A and B are shown apart, each in its own frame.
Chain A
Amino acid sequence: MSRKYLATPYIIWIVGFTLLPLVSIAVSAFTGDDGSYTWDNILAIAEPINRQALLFSLAIAFGCTLLCILLAYPAALILKSLRLGRKGFTIFLLVLPMWMNFILRILAWQMILSKNGILNFIVGKFGGAPLAIGNTWIALMIGMVYDFLPYMILPIFNAISDIDEDIIEAARDLGAGGMAVFCKIIFPLSMPGMLSGIVMVFVPAMTSFVIADILGGGKLQLIGNIIEQEFMKSMDWHLGAGLSISLMLLVLIGLAFTMRNDLEEKGTSIW
Chain B
Amino acid sequence: MVRLKNAFMRCYLAFILLFLYAPIFVLIVLSFNDSRSRVTWGGFTLKWYGRLFSSRQILEALETTLLLGLASAAAATVIGTLGAVGIQAMRKRGYQIVMSVTNIPILNADIVTGIALMLWFVRLIPLGFGSVLVAHITFNIPYVILSVMPKLKSLNLSIYEAARDLGAGSVYAFFHIVLPQIGSGILAGFFMALTMSMDDFVITYFTKGAGVNTLSTMIYGEIRKGIKPEMYALSTLLFAVIFVILLAFNALSGKGKNTEDVIERSR
Contacts and interface: CB of A to CB of B under 8 A. Distances in A.
Interface of B: 9-10, 12-13, 16-17, 19-24, 26-27, 38-39, 79-80, 82-83, 85-90, 94, 98, 101-102, 104-105, 107-113, 115-120, 123, 134-135, 137-138, 141, 145, 195, 198-199, 201-202, 206, 215-216, 219-220, 223, 227, 231-232, 235, 238-239, 242-243, 246-247, 250, 253-254, 257
Interface stretch (A40-48, A110-118, A164-172, A182-190): A110-118
Interface in A77-92: 78-79, 81-82, 85-86, 88-89, 92
B250 A89 contact: yes
Interface string A93-106: 11111111111111
B111 A209 contact: yes
Nearest to A22: B116
Given A101-B219, A102-B216, A10 B141 contact: yes
Given A112-B23, A224-B111, A99 B86 contact: no
Given A100-B23, A106-B23, 14 more contacts: A4-B86, A6-B89, A11-B83, A89-B250, A89-B254, A94-B20, A98-B199, A100-B238, A102-B216, A103-B219, A104-B23, A104-B235, A108-B23, A227-B111
Nearest to A1: B170
Nearest to B121: A21
A209 to B, nearest CB: 7
17 contacts: A4-B86, A14-B102, A17-B134, A18-B104, A82-B10, A102-B199, A103-B219, A104-B235, A111-B39, A149-B16, A153-B16, A203-B109, A208-B110, A208-B202, A248-B108, A251-B108, A251-B109
B216 A7 contact: no
A3 B39 CA distance: 60
Contact of A7 (B83, B206, B253): B83
Given A6-B82, A82-B9, A108-B27, A96 B246 contact: yes
B86 A18 contact: no
A2 B245 CA distance: 39
Contacts of B223: 103, 107, 213-214
Contact of B16 (A13, A71, A117): A71
Nearest to A9: B79
Given A4-B90, A10-B86, A99 B195 contact: yes
Contacts of B119: 21, 24-25, 28, 237, 241
Given A24-B119, A86-B254, A146-B19, A104 B231 contact: yes
Contact of A92 (B27, B102, B227, B246): B246
A199 B106 CA distance: 10
Interface residues of A, number: 81
A109 interface: yes
Contacts of B219: 101, 103-104, 107
A9 B88 CA distance: 15
Given A25-B115, A75-B16, A100-B24, A81 B9 contact: yes
Contacts of B195: 95, 98-99
Contacts of B199: 98-99, 101-102
A11 B98 contact: yes
Contacts of B138: 13, 17-18
- Which DSSP category, helix, strand, loop or mixed, fits chain B's interface? helix
Given A86-B257, A98-B195, A7 B85 contact: yes
A19 interface: yes
Contacts of B145: 10
B9 A78 contact: yes
Contacts, number: 220
Nearest to A240: B115
Contacts of B87: 4, 7, 10
Contacts of A228: 111
A248 B112 contact: yes
Nearest 4 A/B pairs, CB to CB: A7-B86, A10-B83, A108-B23, A207-B109
A109 B19 CA distance: 10
Q: Which of A19, A97, A112, A255 has the most CB of B within 10 A?
A: A97
A152 B127 CA distance: 35
B134 A105 contact: no
Contact of B39 (A71, A116, A251): A116
Interface in A20-55: 20-22, 24-25, 28
A181 interface: no
B227 A104 contact: yes
B115 A97 contact: no
B58 to A, nearest CB: 12
Contacts of A268: none
A271 interface: no
B39 A207 contact: no
A19 B101 contact: yes
A55 B117 CA distance: 27
B201 A102 contact: yes
